[in-house]
Amino acid sequence: MYCPVTSFGAGTYQWNWTCAGGKLSVNGTVVASVSGTMKLNCSGGGRYNKTTCWHSFSGTATNGSGSGSVSAVAKGGVNNAPGTITSFSATW
């Protein structure tokens, strides 16, 4: 899945951005266009606790068969960039 950022905003311990004109591909074949929102939430931290961050995407996927929803969650990796995908779903 690829979705270019169209706007960005930040809140306390949170980054939020929207995207549009993206593509959802399966085995290298584009199957739908995608738009939606991504949120970065972090928690923990402190003297003895590691900070954990999660990237959560929620959006709409559209193709010739109609539209559906798509969601993905990734644990923050190095410098809190999206790391390992922990869940993904797309429904029509």
What is the reported pLDDT for 91? 83
What is the reported pLDDT for 8? 85
Q: Pick from 29, 66, 25: which is nearest to 3 by CA?
A: 25
Instruction: Give dist(CA 72, CA 19) in Å, integer.
Output: 14
Instruction: Note the pLDDT tens digit of each residue in 15-38.
Output: 788 999 999 888 989 989 999 998
pTM, two decimal places: 0.76
Q: Rounded mean pLDDT of 43-63?
A: 84
What is the reported pLDDT for 35? 95
Residue 81 has pLDDT above 80, yes or no: no
Instruction: Give dist(CA 9, CA 5) in Å, integer.
Output: 11
Q: Where are the domains of the chain?
A: 5-57+64-91
